[in-house]
Amino acid sequence: MDARQLWSGGAATAVIAALIALAGILVCRWLFGIPVLAPRQDGAWGDASTAGYAIAAAAAALVATAIMHLLLIATPRPQMFFTWVIGLGTVIAVVYPFSTTAPLSQKVATAVINLMLGAAIGSLINGTAARVIGRRAITGDCQPSYPSSVPGN
């Protein structure tokens, strides 16, 4: 595994996640007039909570990268386990807004943004991991050399 490339991909994913969060908030506020994180009077850019949401999205991508790194080191099928972790985390993030007392439109808007974030982070980190895993192909007469158990061979 090339850890440097994994973390470079994780950093790029963090930037993309922050941009998805920002774009989702702007689309909800500008096009649909739905305040996702701040009251409508805060304008399209909202208040510090907009930046906080984008930073949290970037942090989630970095946490996902750390989880993938640990799974690559410790588990036999890291990408399968990662898909489950991200999938369940995304379900929690999508369902959570519905536990609040916000209007239904705000719950749906936040859930959609969270779903997009989960899908993007999961697919980008999984794709990065597939690229950084070193695989050796055994072809033709090129067989790996194993130590012989017979002395003198």
**Alpha-carbon span 73 to 9, nearest angstrom:** 17
Give pLDDT tens digits for 86-95.
999 999 999 9
Burial class of 143 by CB neighbour count within 10 A (0 to 12, 13 to 18, 19+): exposed
> What tokens were used for 84?
């489950």
Task: Tell me the range of 29-33, 121-125, 132-136 where mean pLDDT is highest.
Answer: 121-125
Give pLDDT tens digits for 126-153.
999 999 887 544 555 555 555 555 555 5
> What tokens were used for 25?
């908030």
Residue 12's region, left for phi above 0, alpha for psi from -120 to 50, else beta, is alpha
